[in-house]
Amino acid sequence: MNDIQPLEQHFEIFSGHHFRGKIKGLPSGPIQVLQPRDFKAGEVQHTPLRIFDTENNILYSRQELQNKDILLPNKGTLLHPVWFQAGDLHSVATSSFFVIRQRNTGALLPKYVYWLLQQPIINRYLLQALTKSTVPSLSVKPVRAMEIPVPPRNTQEHIAELVDQVQQEKELLKQKMHNRQQWLNSYCWERLKPHLS
């Protein structure tokens, strides 16, 4: 097996769902719609909209997201990949994302590819492939043709484990900083109380 292979050899790459007009969110909708605005640097910042599938025929189609899909923004210059972990809701990405889904070859682990897509050398490649327009956009062709290293399975598994460990540490640190900020605010207001009456 060659050490460098095109991404499309091991992954399907296709556009998310194309919605006609503005997406109308409904609080109790059974499908969540993922948009680039919901993420910052690949991490969730806003709760995605929810919809009912009355006209779009999303449920059980190829465009319904599957566990371990990777989402890659295809507009603008912030091309941070998103790791999709399936939850209780059905989910779909808009056409502002490419969906990168593992084929049945099993030669490349999705988490390894997710890590690879975050690396500066890949980011430079994708930025160079952007069309020059008011809103730069990425076509699917260079993503499919992107050549990536295919290390042994145990190397990929080790990288995937480290990626998960670092993500867990980031979440713990985020929670710790949140708790610390709450303590600081509470403590400072207690000190101020005698001077506010």
69-121: pLDDT as tens digits: 999 999 999 999 999 988 878 889 999 999 999 998 778 999 999 999 999 99
Our count of domains for the chain comes to: 2
Whole-angstrom distance, CA of residue 169 vs CA of residue 173: 6
Three-class SS of the chain: CCCEEEHHHCEEEEECECCCCCCCCCCCCCEEEECHHHEECCEECCCCEEECCCCCCCCCCCCECCCCCEEEECECCCCCCEECCCCCCEEEEECCEEEEEECCCCCCCHHHHHHHHCCHHHHHHHHHCCECCCCCECCHHHHHHCEEECCCHHHHHHHHHHHHHHHHHHHHHHHHHHHHHHHHHHHHHHHHHHHCC
**Same structural domain, 120 and 193:** no
**Same structural domain, 112 and 156:** no
**Same structural domain, 140 and 195:** no
**Same structural domain, 164 and 109:** no
pLDDT at 194: 84
Range of the domain at 183: 151-197
**Same structural domain, 83 and 176:** no
- pLDDT tens profile 115-162: 999 999 999 999 999 998 888 999 999 999 999 999 999 999 999 999
**Same structural domain, 106 and 20:** yes
**Same structural domain, 139 and 177:** no
Query: What's the pTM?
Result: 0.82
**Same structural domain, 144 and 158:** no
* CATH number of the domain bearing residue 96: 3.90.220.20
**Same structural domain, 140 and 156:** no
